[in-house]
Structure 1
Amino acid sequence: MNTERTRILLASAAILAASACTNNDGRLDLTQGDPTWGDANRATMAAQVIDPSPEYDSPIPPTSAANAVRAADAYREGNVEQPERIRTTDAGPD
């Protein structure tokens, strides 16, 4: 009996709380009347969309086969110049 009364009380509270989120038309309104609600998400999603028909100055980007061959040969021979190690925990110059 006590658990049934608790369930009814909780259901009533949930219904009252949900009714506070409706506007005058009775529709659910989570934006609290702010017309710009969600603009940041929409702008972020739009920034991540790739242009389906990009236009470039030149149809084929300039490349150098000779440089590519030298880089591949250096990699195979183990003559690749190692980059300088940088510690990510350094805050700056000592």
Structure 2
Amino acid sequence: MTSKPFAIALPAAVLLALGGCATPGGLPAGQDNFGEAYRQTLQAQIIDPAPEYDTPFGQTSGAQVAGAIERYRTGKVKAPAGSAISSVGRASGGGVSASSSN
């Protein structure tokens, strides 16, 4: 059993609450860049079909690349020449070790 004032007040309150969500005239004031992040992301994903690079690429040999692919497939990859191990983190610290005795 509902009362008549409650049956009228509830829909009126809902309409008033939803009316606060509406924005007359489109965008809220001060938000003329609405959707700018979306447009920037979309533009970043478009690929340039004829890119121009600052530095030219080096020459490659088709026979050399074919040999590298075949070595990769057969598991006989050559080790890179002239690579060195970095010395970062190899120095010992001056702290007390766990195995030192007092």
TM-score if structure 1 supplies the norm length?
A: 0.50
Question: Larger Cα Rg: Structure 1 or Structure 2?
Answer: 2
TM-score if structure 2 supplies the norm length?
A: 0.47
Which structure: greater helix fraction?
A: 1
